[in-house]
Structure 1
Amino acid sequence: MKITFIGDIMCEKPLQRYYNKHPNYDFNDIFKETKNLFSNSDLVVGNLETVFAGENVSYTNHIYNFNTPDPFARAMKQGGIDMVTTATNHCLDRGIAGLIRTLDILDQNKIDHTGTYRNEKERHTIYYKEIENKKIAFLSYTYGTNTHETNVILKKEQLYHLNLLKPQTYNLQKVVGQKRSSVFRKMIARLLGQKISLETKMKIKRKMHMTHNVPRVDILSREELDSTYLEQIKSDIIQAKKETDFVVACVHMGGQFNSVPGEFSEYIMKFLVNHGVDLIIGTHPHVVQKYETINNTPIAYCLGNYSISPSSVYLLDEYKPEYSIAMHVYLKNDNIQISKITFSILKIVEEKNGKLTVWPIDQLYKKLGAKEKEKLKKDAAYIYNRFLNLKKNEIDILKEYRIPDKK
């Protein structure tokens, strides 16, 4: 039995602009090169970081607020993606109606989902997938929902619509290693802050080689440890363990572009392990983070971005957000234990017009010239080392890499 997990699935402004100019575009190009990689998996699970709220509430036109055309969902399914987690900071980008319509569109395209819900009955039903007579449960949670962008704050009686790790409006982060700006740069920054959009401000700063964005890491505080949410998570795990054979937790949390997980992420991972989860997959920081085991429980803190637009103005290029991990978990059919874990390295290739294609690096390597091959090998080693916390100078370009067994 083989389950493949991929990172954040997004459709950002550059790709949306291409669709606006070519409304018959079907988005299949994004997924076509990874379809073969996924074909021998029993289940492919991604993290959906957008909504399908419909054209009447406007498609994506902001760098931090998303709504994607329905054909994108069809392309996901045709590309081999079977299931998505939907509890993310963008699940309310078009309000509750957008959240519900997203689930309807996923259902229409026969893509399974968990993390957000239409009603209380759905919320309190453990989602599981039955593979070869074994039941695999999937739990999905998010740290918050960008209330500072959307102003959508759920009432207590509406909280069943999504799974939260902590209070919806509380998000404490700190900047990682920000350099002090000169007086001149501070003056320019103040001028840019006057009646200029965030996106335009970032573009100007990038052209002037000023700091346009910085890594941020999540930290731990009293407010982060709201027992209401932790008790609900514990209850979900207990129910899942009673009803199924194997429990996967998918958590959307962390900082942004931070190479090392923050205190809150570390705390939640240990909390989930201590309460009996069998496997944990993390998303949200938009860069590949470490893999580790705690008490023999495999944990991937962040798989990176399956699809994101590398030209998006807010990205930090030095952390290689165009690369991600597809993590393959092999389970023994008899006792539903993990037999091995491997991973593939994926790269997003963006055309000048905004179109994207996601490539397994072994397939992309075959199409490159000598200089580009060397660059790909160097980048692949960087991602490999980041994921496994190693320091190899060079790696071979392979379809799958084996995660070493813990000694």
Structure 2
Amino acid sequence: MKTTAKTGAAVAAVAVVAGGILALPSLLDQGPRAGTEQRLQAEPGQGKTGQGKTGQGKTGPADAKPFTLVATGDIIPYPSIVQRAADDAQGSGAGHDFRKILAGVKPLVAAADLAICHHEIPYGRPGGPYTGYPAFKAPHQLADALKDAGYDSCSTGSNHTLDDGYDGLVRTLDHLDRVGIKHVGSARSADEAKAPALLSAGGARVAQLDYTYGTNGIPLPAGKPWAVNLIDQNRIIADARAARAAGANVVVLSVHWGTEWQTAPDRQQLDLAQALTASRGTDGLPDIDLILGTHNHVPQPYEKINGTWVVFGMGDQVASFYEADKARGNMSSIPRFTFAPAAAHAGRWEVVKAEYLTQFSDMGPPFRVVCTSCAASDTAPGAAKQAAYAAVDKQVSAAVLARGADRQGLERATR
């Protein structure tokens, strides 16, 4: 992300929404991960329910059952958000606590069998300094809050991955390892860069891949061209096929792409989505089962292309844009897809239900992430905020459905 967020006295974004101004337009070194095939064979049962985090078992017909996958957009802790986390940590002995910021969406994330975040920025050194645009560095306690919320994996490839150099990249992945969150998109070794994040739910092995359009002009570390996965159509397809050949039943692609502040997908997004969803293996089945987009700040449409769901852009999940003309950067969608065993193809799962929810970074104070599509029946915030949340829900829904996803079976959910 390339825009700024002001700190200081908060201009309540909810009031802007309600007024109708918004317009659509110590580190634990885990060492390098094993290669793709080894990881797929060695890591059964990682989901939250059934053959989930607490369960172990083979992937086979006896284990096969539906599972839900939830994803959320870019997490970008601007300085005002970092300060909120410091304030929320007072008296706890911790320097920062992001759990209260995410508490409003925790029920949705924790209830999903698999939950994926987009980890936009690197962690700074313990104690800081923590910085915002143009080079972000956040407190590592964010990893603890993501784990507490229920995330299983995070994409880490973005234009800000190298904001604190290779050391920041390593520091971030080490902390995600520390709390037990899988990650993909950046790497500490060539072998790690080749391996997807491996998850498991409903008896299915799920491989997550991740790539970014660039790193804001920061060169890849010398001698480490594998440190950040860059978008390359042929490589993406090859990696998806390698994951499938190694035993993945579902391949999910996270991709950092598109034009900032633009609701409509740009030509790169449209062309790449068309090519990737059209790609088929020797069995005639899709190489990629779901595409999840990040980077644009604002919610973008969902669309089923060549039979595969594409979320062009979820928008920012955690961001703080105080300027009225950028307040829509505080809105995002939450896609939720239910996968079930494909009756016609043994060993494959397919999307049988597609849903979305809406969310909002409420400036407060205090700053909190809110599920706005869940809030219609909640009178606790008061009438003014209820109206503001309803306006956000309407605007996000308009963006999500702009390419006719409702006619393709996408449903709006409220819980």
Instruction: Confirm or deny a common fold (TM above 0.5).
Output: yes
What is the Cα deviation at residue 57 of structure 1?
6.4
Quick check: 2:197–2:207 contact (8 Å CA) kept in 1?
Answer: yes
2:34 aligns to what? none
Q: Mapping of 1:321-336 within 5 angstroms? A: 321-333=329-341, 335-336=348-349
Query: Whole-Å Cα distance in 2 between the matches of residues 389 and 258 of structure 1?
Result: 13
Quick check: 1:57–1:94 contact (8 Å CA) kept in 2?
Answer: no
1:261 aligns to what? 265
What is the Cα deviation at residue 376 of structure 1?
2.7
TM-aligned CA distance change 1:293 to 1:51, over 3 Å: same
Query: Whole-Å Cα distance in 2 between the matches of residues 20 and 74 of structure 1?
Result: 14
Of the three residues 240, 244, 251, the one matched with 1:241 is 244
Q: Does 1:317 align with 2:320?
A: no
What is the Cα deviation at residue 368 of structure 1?
3.4
Amino acid at match of 1:306: Q
SS in 2 for 1:234: helix
1:132 aligns to what? 202
TM-aligned CA distance change 1:34 to 1:322, over 3 Å: same
Query: Whole-Å Cα distance in 2 between the matches of residues 124 and 25 of structure 1?
Result: 33
1:399 aligns to what? 414
Query: Whole-Å Cα distance in 1 between the matches of residues 139 and 225 of structure 2?
Result: 26
Q: Mapping of 1:7-406 within 5 angstroms? A: 7-19=73-85, 24-55=95-126, 58-60=129-131, 62-147=132-217, 152-154=218-220, 157-165=223-231, 229-243=232-246, 244-275=248-279, 276-311=287-322, 316-317=325-326, 320-333=328-341, 335-352=348-365, 355-365=366-376, 366=378, 367-389=380-402, 399-400=414-415
User: What percent of counterpart residues are identical?
Assistant: 25
Query: Whole-Å Cα distance in 1 between the matches of residues 387 and 255 of structure 2?
Result: 35
Query: Whole-Å Cα distance in 2 between the matches of residues 390 and 341 of structure 1?
Result: 15
What is the Cα deviation at residue 125 of structure 1?
2.2
What is the Cα deviation at residue 234 of structure 1?
2.5
What is the Cα deviation at residue 99 of structure 1?
0.5
- Structure 1 window deviating more from structure 2 (83-92 vs 264-273): it is 264-273
1:216 aligns to what? none
What is the Cα deviation at residue 384 of structure 1?
0.8
Amino acid at match of 1:291: Y
Quick check: 1:377–1:397 contact (8 Å CA) kept in 2?
Answer: no
Quick check: 1:52–1:70 contact (8 Å CA) kept in 2?
Answer: yes
SS in 1 for 2:239: helix
What is the Cα deviation at residue 363 of structure 1?
4.6
TM-score, scaled to structure 1: 0.74
TM-score, scaled to structure 2: 0.73
Structure 2: segments with no counterpart, 5+ residues: 1-66, 280-286, 343-347
What is the Cα deviation at residue 390 of structure 1?
7.3
- Structure 1 window deviating more from structure 2 (124-133 vs 261-270): it is 124-133
Amino acid at match of 2:333: I
* Cα deviations by residue, 1:201-230 (Å, 9 ceiling, x for unpaired): xxxxxxxxxxxxxxxxxxxxxxxxxxxx33
Quick check: 1:46–1:81 contact (8 Å CA) kept in 2?
Answer: yes
What is the Cα deviation at residue 19 of structure 1?
4.8
Aligned residue pairs total 324
SS in 2 for 1:160: coil
SS in 2 for 1:247: strand
- Structure 1 window deviating more from structure 2 (270-279 vs 71-80): it is 270-279
Higher relative contact order (CA 8 A, sep 6+): 2
Query: Whole-Å Cα distance in 2 between the matches of residues 25 and 98 of structure 1?
Result: 18
* Cα deviations by residue, 1:95-153 (Å, 9 ceiling, x for unpaired): 01110111001000111101111101111223321223311111100000112xxxx31
RMSD: 2.4
